[in-house]
């Protein structure tokens, strides 16, 4: 296993054949990616304000939004680049890839003893109105990580109902936000960005520091990330923490903000997860956290601790033990443990993701 030197040093690279790939088939995979650009326009602000996720007024943008760049990506094996395309240092919004980053921070909080018991109610250690009342006071850390919390309320001007009934398979095409009767906490799985932001708020309380600061100190710097990333919050998301106003950052770019980064820094995150949270002999994530992240939720076979899974074989040619961080607009980190592959796709048409993974699987052989 090779680890890249700290940025801005280039990633180690080798000819595809030396890494066990069929060169012609790997070239086909790259051509496939280059020919299937996301339908998301370059002007992301106009896209969000135009109501891609939901109509007005629920679509109000609260955080920074920047135009996106062209498609790019990397395919690595054993930490060595076999193929790349586009500008892999173009820093862009990542949307829900940030959810997987929140999961990694939760792992650090767990390892630090800030969250000793994932099955304890968040309200036992977080004093915030978001975790008060007969429903929300029962919600555990595990429920938030697995998206089964059924948290109810409004956070930073966004009501949980906005994302009730959300169907990712028809994102941007099918109405959502209906007043679905809520189940008891832990008894219903739903991909809900407001509830993800509730987890971020809870982690802010436990760390007592801005999450981007924790991310830089505990993950980004130790794995040699570039200085090109940033994690931005909403204009109305300042929270009083120990007498200081600190912005709580979102777990995506649904209403602006979130993580801006590039393909190479995302590949570093993939390598960290591939190597069980260890970077060049230094443990970054607590032992067992990667395995816990890849354990399916009882209510959804392809979801763990804010990482997507392949247990149902929805990607038939990929390892069922694969982990994926996936963001809107075609932003993906794919980690395949059995082949030691990490691949990053930026602005790939989401409909082409199964085909892209299949192409790489064909290229890497059995």
Instruction: Give residue-wise pLDDT tens across range 120-155.
Output: 999 999 999 999 999 999 999 999 999 999 999 999
Using DSSP's 3-state secondary structure scheme, residue 306 falls into coil
Give the range of the structural domain holding residue 331, as residue numbers without chain letter: 16-364
The whole-number pLDDT of residue 173 equals: 66
Copy the structure tokens of residue 218: 């505990």
CA distances from 51 to 57, 146, 255, 304 (A): 9, 27, 11, 29
Instruction: Using 70 as the pLDDT threshold, list the residues of the chain that sit under it.
Output: 170, 172-173, 366
Task: Give the separation between CA 42 and CA 59, rounded to whole angstroms.
Answer: 18
Cβ 70 vs Cβ 347: under 8 Å:
yes
Copy the structure tokens of residue 117: 């018991």
Copy the structure tokens of residue 290: 């990667």
Cβ 321 vs Cβ 291: under 8 Å:
no
β-strand 308-309 against 282-283: which pairing, if any?
A: unpaired
Strand partners, 13: 81
Copy the structure tokens of residue 226: 């570039």
Q: Is residue 211 part of a domain?
A: yes
Copy the structure tokens of residue 256: 């602006």
Q: Is residue 316 part of a domain?
A: yes
The whole-number pLDDT of residue 366 equals: 65
Q: Is residue 5 part of a domain?
A: no
Number of domains observed in the structure of the chain:
1
CATH number at residue 134: 3.40.710.10
CA distances from 111 to 86, 105, 283, 303, 307 (A): 37, 10, 11, 22, 19
Q: Is residue 8 part of a domain?
A: no
Q: Is residue 6 part of a domain?
A: no
Residue 204 CB coordination number (10 Å): 24
Q: Is residue 1 part of a domain?
A: no
Copy the structure tokens of residue 67: 């135009």
Please report how many Cα atoms fall inside a 13 Å half-sphere around the Cα of residue 182, on the Cβ side: 17
Q: Is residue 7 part of a domain?
A: no
The string of DSSP codes covering 126-187 is --SGGG-STTGGG-BHHHHHHT-----SEETTEEGGGGTT--GGGTTTS-----PPP--TTS
Q: Is residue 3 part of a domain?
A: no
The whole-number pLDDT of residue 1 equals: 73
Cβ 362 vs Cβ 25: under 8 Å:
yes
Rounded CA Rg of the chain: 19
Of 213, 202, 184, the residue nearest 103 (C-alpha): 202
Task: Give the separation between CA 249 and CA 45, rounded to whole angstroms.
Answer: 18
Q: What is the DSSP letter of 20?
A: T
């Amino acid at each position: 296993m090779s680890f890249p030197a700290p940025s801005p040093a280039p990633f180690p690279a080798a000819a595809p054949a030396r890494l066990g790939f069929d060169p012609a088939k790997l070239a086909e995979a790259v051509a496939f990616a280059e020919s299937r650009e996301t339908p998301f326009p370059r002007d992301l602000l106009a896209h969000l304000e135009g109501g891609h996720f939901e109509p007005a007024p629920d679509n109000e943008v609260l955080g920074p939004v920047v135009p996106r760049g062209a498609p790019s990506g990397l395919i690595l094996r054993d930490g060595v680049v076999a193929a790349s395309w586009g500008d892999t240092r173009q820093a862009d919004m990542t949307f829900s890839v940030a959810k997987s980053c929140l999961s990694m921070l939760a792992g650090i909080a767990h390892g630090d003893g800030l969250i000793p018991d994932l099955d304890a109610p968040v309200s036992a250690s977080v004093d915030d109105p978001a975790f008060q009342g007969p429903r929300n006071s029962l919600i555990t850390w595990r429920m938030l990580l697995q998206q089964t919390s059924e948290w109810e309320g409004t956070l930073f001007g966004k009501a949980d109902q906005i994302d009730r009934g959300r169907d990712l398979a028809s994102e941007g095409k099918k109405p959502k936000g209906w007043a679905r009767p809520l189940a008891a906490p832990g008894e219903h799985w739903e991909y809900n960005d407001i509830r993800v932001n509730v987890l971020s708020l809870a982690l802010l309380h436990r760390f007592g520091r801005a999450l981007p600061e924790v991310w830089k100190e505990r993950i980004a710097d130790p794995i040699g990330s570039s200085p090109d990333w940033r994690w931005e919050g909403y204009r109305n998301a300042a929270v009083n923490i120990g007498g200081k106003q600190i912005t709580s950052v979102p777990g995506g770019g649904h209403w602006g903000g979130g993580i801006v980064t590039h393909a190479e820094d995302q590949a570093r995150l993939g390598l960290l997860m591939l190597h069980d949270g260890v970077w060049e002999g230094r443990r970054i994530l607590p032992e067992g956290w990667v395995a816990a992240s890849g354990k399916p939720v009882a209510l959804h076979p392809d979801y763990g601790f804010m990482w997507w899974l392949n247990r149902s074989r929805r990607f038939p040619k990929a390892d069922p033990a694969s982990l994926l961080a996936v963001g809107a607009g075609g932003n993906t980190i794919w980690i395949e443990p059995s082949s030691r592959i990490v691949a990053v796709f930026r602005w790939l048409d989401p409909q082409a993701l199964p085909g892209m993974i299949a192409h790489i699987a064909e290229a890497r052989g059995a």
